[in-house]
Chain A
Amino acid sequence: MTTNDIPYISSLAMIDHLKGYLTTEEELAFMQLLFSSSASIKGANYGLRRKELEKLLGIKNDDNALQSFIDRVNGALNRYFKIIYDERRDRVVVMMRITAKNAKSTLSSEALAILLYMFYQQEVLGHEFTLVHQILVDFGHESLNANRRMKSNIDQLKKVGAVEDYEASSEEAYQLTTIGVHLFSESFLRRTVEFAQETKLNKEEVMKFFNRYNLHVEEDKE
């Protein structure tokens, strides 16, 4: 496989930048990561397992080395891609930034609202999971076919790997995956909260509200 197969990368001047940051193995590992994040056949299993990535990088159980790799790639490419490590599912995934215009065609607005709700519950309020029943009650159970509509929207979220079934609960429940946690861009969250508050807000405050503060500072540093 050559870089030509990934049109995005070859057109980015950033890739030259990246060379300076990464060793050859790391570059190859990153390419492998991009490729493996793609196969939609795998369902929600985007990306590589940590072990596989470590093998490509030639390290073993070295948190610092792994983190350094992730930080460097993210540092160089954070305008287009980010690598995230999903500890719970043991997967390293590449996520891609999408413009506001294209974002509309990815998920339905209802699915996004549900995801936002789970995001709020789990990231802001610190709940471990969100009950299906609760979503149904909160999101207008008065409409016709409410349950079916909600399920099909959640299915969309499952397909992109943003949420997964929460097994440990006796009731049907969902938990955000790392993909779900990182899906919303800062601008989107800021706009959303501004609409909710009906006032202009500082981006940092919004990030603080969603417990994304650390993330934000990190990106600023780069």
Chain B
Amino acid sequence: MAEWFTAEDGAVRLVGSRCDTCGTPYFPRNTLACRNPQCASPKDGSELAEYLFSTRGRIWSYADARYKPPPPYVSSDPFEPYVVAAVELEVEQMVILGQVVRGFTVDDLAVGMPVELALGVLYEDEEAEHTVWMWRPVDA
């Protein structure tokens, strides 16, 4: 899902879209029509431009997975628990989910903790290392 984020020179950004008229950002990318019912844009998609999200936020909540989830998640073998965080972005005034970079457990996290966007390996197969955006705790 490379079109959901970019990672150039180590700088990871979520790629979504934003309405030129009302300023509402969307993730994942919305190309159909601005969904703000009060927005006076043409709502034919022409109002939506590519948008790169801010890269820092604060944890809204977090949880982990202790059991192997079903496909289409590709689990490591043996299964290793992973952590998911919902992160509030101040600029965009919205919450975006992501896994937390490997090596952190729920014991390392707290609601309100600052995090930044990072790149992580979701899974590997014969063809490639499949990467995805993840959240990484940072100092305030």
Q: Bound pair: A and B? A: no
Interface residues of B (CB under 8 A from A): none
